[in-house]
Amino acid sequence: MDRAFSKFGVLSRNDAIEKIRSGLVRVNGRIIRDPDTWISLTQDRIVCEGQLLERRKRIYLMFYKPRGVVTTHGDPDNRKTVYDFFPDAKEWVFPVGRLDKDTSGLLLMTNDTEFGETLTNPRSKIPKTYQVKVNFHPSEEQLTLLKHGMTLKKGEKTLPAHVRVIRETEKYAHLDITIVEGKNRQVRRMIESLGGRVLKLVRKRIGNLSLGNLQVGRCRFLDRNDLRLLRQQPDD
């Protein structure tokens, strides 16, 4: 039953489970405390704290996540979360995928679970482009490894990535890396497998949707054209 709340774009499944177990949810007039109870989204009447559960208007946002912010809803270590930037939000939204605490950039927020599941499904192979500052100058051999796929330190193999050197300074290199999968901390682990270290990591684009002139810590609603751009391949 908890899945119905996220399907309707009302609550996260974890929050729904808490409401259900607290006896705040009624199905066809009867209190239900088991989140695994099977229900029909079309035939059953679900009421939470006196409010009828109804499908909400779909919301799609792009957010420029700052560095040092986590993407969880509430943090046991009291770190700043993305939800601190939406204090007046009247509708529940969740992040599509994750950006780790030390990574900034484009993060999608929505209440459309099917949309989120599609974009994060590995089979979708939606490309994500990052600008990366590293503490070394990659050799041609190292760039080839990134471009053709490589084995990470824990044995995982990556798919080919699109890699471009943007510029180099005396000590550092700035790269543009596009990947089509979402392994945990993947870009950082790719660089670490080359013996280097990521000094700065910013996600600039998903599909063909880019941050543009969006400022750090700000968000904007997506329109139909933006949603179309999400499914396009980045321009070479």
Report the distance separating Cα 70 and Cα 51, nearest Å: 31
Mean of all residue pLDDT scores within the chain: 88
Query: pLDDT by residue (tens digit) across 18-30?
Result: 888 888 888 888 8
Are residues 138 and 173 in contact, defined by beta-carbon separation less than 8 angstroms?
yes
Report the distance separating Cα 154 and Cα 57, nearest Å: 42
Neighbours of 15 (CB within 10 A): 16
Catalytic residue among 2, 34, 36, 100: 100
DSSP string, 28-60: TTEE---TT----TTT--EEETTEE--PPPP-E
- Tell me which H or E stretch contains 206: strand 198-206
Query: pLDDT by residue (tens digit) across 222-233?
Result: 999 999 888 766
Tell me the domains of the chain and their CATH numbers: 2-52 (3.10.290.10), 60-122+209-230 (3.30.70.580), 127-206 (3.30.70.1560)
Q: Compare 6 and 182 and report the one with higher pLDDT.
A: 182
Give the pLDDT mean for 83-105: 84
In the 8-state DSSP scheme, what is residue 137? -
Neighbours of 117 (CB within 10 A): 11
Neighbours of 202 (CB within 10 A): 19
Query: pLDDT by residue (tens digit) across 128-165?
Result: 999 999 999 999 999 999 999 999 988 899 999 999 99
Report the distance separating Cα 162 and Cα 170, nearest Å: 24
pTM: 0.80
Catalytic residue check, 100 = yes
Question: Residue 236: pLDDT band by 50, 70, 90 thresholds?
Answer: very low
